[in-house]
Amino acid sequence: MSKEFPFGRCLEDFEVGDVYKHWPGKTITEYDDHLFCMITMNHHPLHTNIHYAENATQFKKNVVVGNLVYSLVLGMSVRDVSGSAIANLEIENLKHPAPTFHGDTIYAETEVLEIVPSKSRPDRGIVKVRTIGYKQDGTVVCEFVRKVMIPTREARGSDQPARPEPKLAE
């Protein structure tokens, strides 16, 4: 696809089979993981206690909390998939097939699986996508399918809806 999308696509811009390679990737630091754990009150020592991880886990090091990995992968997809969404409707089949560790860099991509125009509201439709997140070595660490309600181009209006105009001093 050659057209540049400023932030999110309209319903007409999706095609089944399209794959969006989201950019940039994100290296997950120990700080990122610990902050996310503290904010979400996930105090499991697997994520926050090096001694515990080294002595009581199969990986012998801290594992990044899965919800942080999922949140990053989902966030990476917003510009290409849901930046103009009316609503995120459903997440299905969320999986973490491999662990993520401090220092791993996560990349993501999304494939369009299905597009269903609304029968009751012609100004929107449902787009079903599969998103995967993978590490620097290609190992998939997160995958999920989601359904997003997307407006048509006419319903969305401009590429920057609700953007105000500056009031210049006279």
> Cβ neighbours of residue 52 under 8 Å, at least 6 residues apart?
45, 46
Provide the CA 124 distance to its chain's centre, in angstroms: 21
Pick the CATH number of 11-156 from 3.40.50.720, 3.30.565.10, 3.10.129.10, 3.90.1150.10: 3.10.129.10
Count of residues making up the chain: 170
- Which range among 35-44, 126-135, 148-157 shows the weakest confidence by mean pLDDT? 148-157
Contact criterion met (CB below 8 Å) for 18 and 80: no
Q: pLDDT tier at 2 (50, 70, 90 boundaries)?
A: very low
Which residues on adjacent β-strands are paired with residue 90? 147
Tokens of 10: 């309209």
Whole-model pTM: value is: 0.88
Per-residue pLDDT at 163 exceeds 90: no
Averaged pLDDT of the chain: 93
